[in-house]
Chain A
Amino acid sequence: MNDASATGTLDGNAHEFTWISPVPPAATEIARYSENILRSLGGRLSVSVAAEPQDKVRVSDSEIAAFLNSLLLRRSIAICNIGNNYPYHKLALEVARATPSILILHDFVLQHLFLGEAHLKFEGWEAYRLIMRRCYGAEGEQIAQLVVDSQGKLLYQSPEICKIFPLVEDLGRNCLLGITHNPTLVEDLGRRLAAPVVYAPFPYDPAITASRRPSQDGRMRLVQFGYLGGNRCLNEVLDAIALHPKKHRLKLDVYGSVAAHQDVASKIELHGLASVVTLHGHVSDEILDQALVDADLVINLRNPTMGEASASQLRAFDASAPSVVTDAGWYSELPDGTVLKIPAGEEIHGLSGIFDRWSERPEDLRSVGCEGRRYLTFHHRSDLLVDVLSNLQGEIPQLRRNLGFRSMAFRAAGHARRNGLAHPGLAARLMERVNLLGLQW
């Protein structure tokens, strides 16, 4: 009798991978992240790079088909970097949907990604509604109508909506493996993707060498930077500054893209903050690094958090910049003493308290910055992620097997559901069969 635990002997050829992400000079931290990790990978993995096209807002169907075809011909496995900023992740999104891929999920909540897709690719909001329905049924469709109206105006979004309807499920169908930089999300992501998920710390090797310069006017130097969408609490920051009795002892420099730029500019004018707040737009890495090193406080609030591990925060750590974060998600896992934390919804009060604290004992905040850099050095070495990626070579057959069996079960369940054959025991029955056939979960 043959050994029932025997495994087959399919060929063990080495695999080639294609890394899909924005690359420098794209103005996103994920571009720097990719540059760093690809350099660190060296020869440990055979990887080619497909840069997200930055000269257009959408990728055409023919371009997608051509790219997918090239992946097939090269037998290359896609590693898709997925984040919330659609222009930076449009190709990865298409590939992740079309072909078995490894996903690096820079955000857990992908509401903005799909809103961006609906707006920029489909030029309408029906696509968003359809995805919400596909992922969450009738309830999702109802929620979609709360979030955005038929003209595309964003009506409402809350942490609760983001948490319950993250839309990450839409990427589960072809997911060979999910990689997250947020250890608190492994279980939830694994359940939502119905795929194996592993954690690796966000890779960030300290590189800033700029020296801190003394303040020229004695004001507290505040910095916000990055892609400042609605969840970055810029409005709350402006309110906190405007309401502070010593607002003219504060100086806020904002670097990067500001969503609703005109609204923000109007608010600055309205509050008489023109001499306090400067919107710089995008600047060079050297200028931004220097600003971070000089900062008395980097404001890196997120409400709601999208589940991301924050490259921005790690950059602030690199600069030894004292920083304040929202006490939620990945940020809440940062050790006390490496950052200042403000509960969600208490931004104005929390910031005001920090401004006062700096005014009384600036050295307290400086020590937080130093602790942050120490934490970065030990806990976010890029070799930790490099090890995870290098191990992919040997894990691909098992991951493929796993995805194949999952697809088998999900397709059968889908057929049953569409034909009115679903019943309470169906899932268990199907899992029993695929387990017998060889699924190792």
Chain B
Amino acid sequence: MPSSPPKRNNNMRVIVVNAHVPFVRGGAELLAESLVEQLKAAGHEAELVRIPFVWYPPEKILDCAIASSLLDVSRFAESIDLCIALKFPAYLVQHPNKAVWLVHQHRQAYELWNTSFSDLTTAAMGPEVREVISTSDTRVLASIPKLYTISETVTQRILSHNNLTAQTLYHPPPIADHLLCSGYEDFVFYPSRFNPMKRQELVLEALTRTRHPVRCIFAGAADSATVASDFMDAIRRFGLQDRVQWLGPISTPVLVEHYARTLAVVFPPLDEDYGYVTLEAMLARKAVVTVADAGGPTEFIRDGQEGWVAQPTADALADALDRVWEDRRETRRRGEAGFERYNDLGISWGSVLEALTS
């Protein structure tokens, strides 16, 4: 049956293809769902297709990659006009009109290689799998005219690792329309998944070194029971039971409420891809305390303007938290500046969809 030519812009049949680890829900999953919602709202037929992804042992990555590569998603009963792929190995699927809006590559093969965050480094077939990932990424992504990323951080990575040029498309966080400011109370807020790369323990260490009794509320689910228990142990070890609270996973209303009430948001991850937390804080008119190697957040927060960008050490972070705590007026000013900057950047779904569906 001959395929009809793909429609352009209006009323397209679009699939969004994402690699997914079951039971893990983070920014990438929220982004994928948001994209599908926005496509539908713009008048397209859209569907999210999740490809299960197993990454350990490393040989399983090869299996997932070839499986994805064998998938032809150009037609299911009727033609699919556009395929938008978000992550490795989802962007290996076959489709004649494929756009990639890159959330991140398989980072363990790139910037996390040779660090404790990459299990590829210490696996027997690790180097071989790494070579495959790099080669296939370069080969496949180079052949896609519509190559976009979610942030300058990811754009720079793909340029550095694969010598490929991509365009950055910022987008609003999923709860953008709900965020507001209701005051500046006596706590800083850190909402995020719990894992070593988010560096919640660095914040705890910083809290032990502040001059002021800075209080911090953490929220979010831990990636594993071990991470959770380690964090609770750290709170006890540092004697911060009176100043630290961990809410665990929270609902959107509770999240919005805490953004609305907090004095400032603290968010010092390691090389974050994008960082909804940063934008959510800006929309809630709250200053952000982040660190120089945080990646995505530093694209939006400038030290002295929308917040503090400290060196990634407990002492430097403690100093920043003290400044947040002692100069409330300045903290509020930077929060307002963040809100203004967000609006000035023109971050919208409209520009994202226009690029992806062009």
Interface flag for B130 (CB, 8 Å) = yes
| Inter-chain contact A2/B141, CB cutoff 8 Å | yes
Residue numbers of A with Cβ under 8 A of B are 1-11, 68, 72-73, 98-100, 174, 397, 400-401, 403-405, 407-409, 411-412, 415, 429-430, 433-434, 436-438
In the complex, A405 Cα to B161 Cα: how many Å? 19
Closest to A77 in B: B127
In the complex, A403 Cα to B66 Cα: how many Å? 14
Which residues of chain B from 67 to 88 have a CB within 8 Å of any chain A CB? 67, 69-70
- State how many angstroms separate the Cβ of A316 from the closest Cβ of chain B: 41
Which residues of chain B from 84 to 140 have a CB within 8 Å of any chain A CB? 92, 113-114, 122-125, 127-132, 134-140
Residues of A within 8 A of B183 (CB): none
- State how many angstroms separate the Cβ of B30 from the closest Cβ of chain A: 29
Given A1-B145, A4-B139, A437-B69, residue A408 in contact with residue B160 (CB < 8 A)? no
* Complex A-B: 16 CB contacts under 8 Å: A1-B142, A2-B142, A4-B143, A6-B164, A8-B161, A9-B163, A10-B113, A10-B131, A68-B124, A407-B62, A412-B66, A429-B70, A433-B69, A437-B65, A437-B135, A437-B136
Q: B147 is contacted by which of A2, A408, A412 (Cβ under 8 Å)? A: A2
Interface residues of B toward A: which range? Answer: 35 or more
Main secondary structure of the interface of A (DSSP, over half): helix
- State how many angstroms separate the Cβ of A429 from the closest Cβ of chain B: 8
Given A430-B66, A437-B69, residue A98 in contact with residue B124 (CB < 8 A)? yes
Interface flag for B195 (CB, 8 Å) = no
Contacts A412-B66, A412-B67 known; list 5 others, CB within 8 Å. Answer: A1-B145, A2-B147, A407-B62, A407-B128, A437-B140
| Inter-chain contact A403/B135, CB cutoff 8 Å | no
In the complex, A403 Cα to B129 Cα: how many Å? 9
Which residues of chain B from 289 to 346 have a CB within 8 Å of any chain A CB? none
Residues of A within 8 A of B45 (CB): none
Given A8-B137, A412-B63, residue A404 in contact with residue B69 (CB < 8 A)? no
Residues of B within 8 A of A412 (CB): 63, 66-67, 70
In the complex, A99 Cα to B129 Cα: how many Å? 13
Residues of B within 8 A of A1 (CB): 142, 145
Residues of B within 8 A of A73 (CB): 122
| Inter-chain contact A438/B138, CB cutoff 8 Å | yes
Closest to A440 in B: B135
Residues of A within 8 A of B122 (CB): 72-73
In the complex, A415 Cα to B143 Cα: how many Å? 29
Nearest first, the 9 closest Cβ-Cβ pairs linking A and B are: A438-B135, A404-B132, A404-B128, A8-B134, A401-B131, A408-B62, A437-B136, A2-B142, A99-B124
Interface flag for B38 (CB, 8 Å) = no
| Inter-chain contact A100/B138, CB cutoff 8 Å | no
In the complex, A154 Cα to B141 Cα: how many Å? 57
Residues of B within 8 A of A433 (CB): 66, 69-70
In the complex, A99 Cα to B70 Cα: how many Å? 27
In the complex, A2 Cα to B63 Cα: how many Å? 27
Interface flag for B208 (CB, 8 Å) = no
- State how many angstroms separate the Cβ of B314 from the closest Cβ of chain A: 30
In the complex, A345 Cα to B317 Cα: how many Å? 84
In the complex, A3 Cα to B128 Cα: how many Å? 23
In the complex, A397 Cα to B133 Cα: how many Å? 12
| Inter-chain contact B69/A6, CB cutoff 8 Å | no
- State how many angstroms separate the Cβ of A1 from the closest Cβ of chain B: 5
Residues of A within 8 A of B137 (CB): 8
| Inter-chain contact A9/B162, CB cutoff 8 Å | yes
Interface flag for B59 (CB, 8 Å) = yes
Residues of A within 8 A of B130 (CB): 10, 400, 404
Closest to A1 in B: B145
In the complex, A404 Cα to B145 Cα: how many Å? 27
Residues of A within 8 A of B127 (CB): 100, 400
In the complex, A244 Cα to B164 Cα: how many Å? 78
Closest to A429 in B: B70
Closest to B62 in A: A408
Interface flag for B165 (CB, 8 Å) = yes
Q: B128 is contacted by which of A4, A400, A415 (Cβ under 8 Å)? A: A400
Residues of B within 8 A of A3 (CB): 142, 163
Residues of B within 8 A of A430 (CB): 66
| Inter-chain contact B139/A437, CB cutoff 8 Å | yes
In the complex, A357 Cα to B130 Cα: how many Å? 63
- State how many angstroms separate the Cβ of A315 from the closest Cβ of chain B: 37
In the complex, A208 Cα to B350 Cα: how many Å? 83
| Inter-chain contact A409/B66, CB cutoff 8 Å | yes
In the complex, A68 Cα to B125 Cα: how many Å? 12
Q: A415 is contacted by which of B63, B129, B160 (Cβ under 8 Å)? A: B63
Residues of A within 8 A of B69 (CB): 433, 436-437
Q: B65 is contacted by which of A2, A10, A408 (Cβ under 8 Å)? A: A408
In the complex, A174 Cα to B124 Cα: how many Å? 10
- State how many angstroms separate the Cβ of A86 from the closest Cβ of chain B: 23
In the complex, A72 Cα to B114 Cα: how many Å? 12
- State how many angstroms separate the Cβ of A98 from the closest Cβ of chain B: 6
Residues of B within 8 A of A437 (CB): 65-66, 69, 92, 132, 135-136, 139-140
Q: A8 is contacted by which of B66, B70, B163, B165 (Cβ under 8 Å)? A: B163
